[in-house]
Copies of this chain bind each other. A is one copy, B any other.
Amino acid sequence: MTTSAVAYATDKQNQQRFLDELKDLIRIPSVSTLPQHKGDVQRAAQFIADDLKRMGMENVAIIPTAGHPLVYADWMHASGKPTALCYGHYDVQPPDPLEEWVTPPFEPTIRNGNLHARGAVDDKGQMHMHLKALESLLQAGHGKLPVNVKVLIEGEEEVGGESIAKFVKENSEKLRSDFALISDTEMFAPDLPTLNVGLRGLIYTEIEAQGAKIDLHSGQYGGVAPNPFFALCQIISRLKDENGLIQIPHIYDKVRKPGEAELTAWASLPFDEKSYRENEIGSKELTGEPGLTVQERTWSRPTLEVHGMPGGFTGAGAKTVIPARAVAKVSMRIVPDMKPDEVVTLYTDFVMSLAPKGVVVKVRVLSMGEPSIIPTDNRFIKAATEALKDVFHKETVFIRSGGSIPIVAEFQKHLNIPSVMMGFGLPDDNLHAPNEKFHIANYYRGIESIVRFLERLGA
Interface residues of A (CB under 8 A from B): 33-35, 93-94, 96-97, 100, 158-160, 200, 202, 204, 211-227, 229-230, 232-234, 236-238, 240, 242, 244, 281-289, 294, 297-298, 301, 303-323, 326, 328-329, 331, 333, 356-360, 366-367, 401-404, 427, 430-435
CA distance A220 to B185 in the complex (A): 10
17 interchain pairs, CB-CB under 8 A: A33-B317, A33-B319, A96-B313, A100-B214, A159-B318, A212-B281, A214-B433, A221-B298, A222-B304, A223-B288, A223-B301, A224-B286, A229-B307, A284-B357, A305-B322, A307-B322, A321-B432
Are B222 and A333 in contact, with the CB atoms below 8 A? yes
Q: Which residues of B contact A435 (CB under 8 A)?
A: 214
Q: Which residue of B lies closest to A238 (CB)?
A: B237
Q: How distant is A354 from chain B, measured CB to nearest CB, in Å?
A: 10
- Chain B residues, CB < 8 A from A236: 229-230, 233, 237
CB distance A307 to B281 under 8 Å?
A: no
Please determine whether B285 and A308 come into contact, CB atoms closer than 8 angstroms.
no
With both beta carbons as reference points, the residue of chain B lying nearest to A327 in the complex is identified as B314
Instruction: Report yes or no: A283 in contact with B315, Cβ–Cβ below 8 A.
Output: no
Distance in angstroms between the alpha carbons of A97 and B287 in the assembled complex:
36
Q: Is the CB of B283 within 8 A of A211?
A: yes
Are A223 and B306 in contact, with the CB atoms below 8 A?
no
Picked from B214, B242, B319, B401, the residue with its CB within 8 Å of the CB of A93 is B319
Interface centre among A100, A212, A224, A305 (most CB of B within 10 A): A224
Residues of B within 8 Å of A35, CB to CB, are 316
A285 touching B357, Cβ below 8 Å? yes
Q: Which residues of B contact A237 (CB under 8 A)?
A: 230, 233-234, 236-238
In contact, B220 and A431 (Cβ under 8 angstroms) = yes
**With A214-B430, A317-B366, A319-B93 given, is the CB distance from A224 to B306 under 8 Å?**
no
Contact B301 A329 (CB under 8 A): no
Contact partner, A313, options B94, B232, B317, B427, Cβ 8 Å: B94
Known: A214-B434, A215-B97, A318-B366. A284 touches B223 (CB 8 A): no
Q: Contacts of A303 on B, CB cut-off 8 Å?
A: 218, 222-223
Q: Which residue of B lies closest to A427 (CB)?
A: B220
Query: Would A227 and B306 count as touching, CB distance under 8 A?
Result: yes
Which residues in B have their C-beta under 8 angstroms from that of A211? Answer: 283
- Residues of B contacting A222 with CB < 8 Å? 298, 303-305, 333, 402
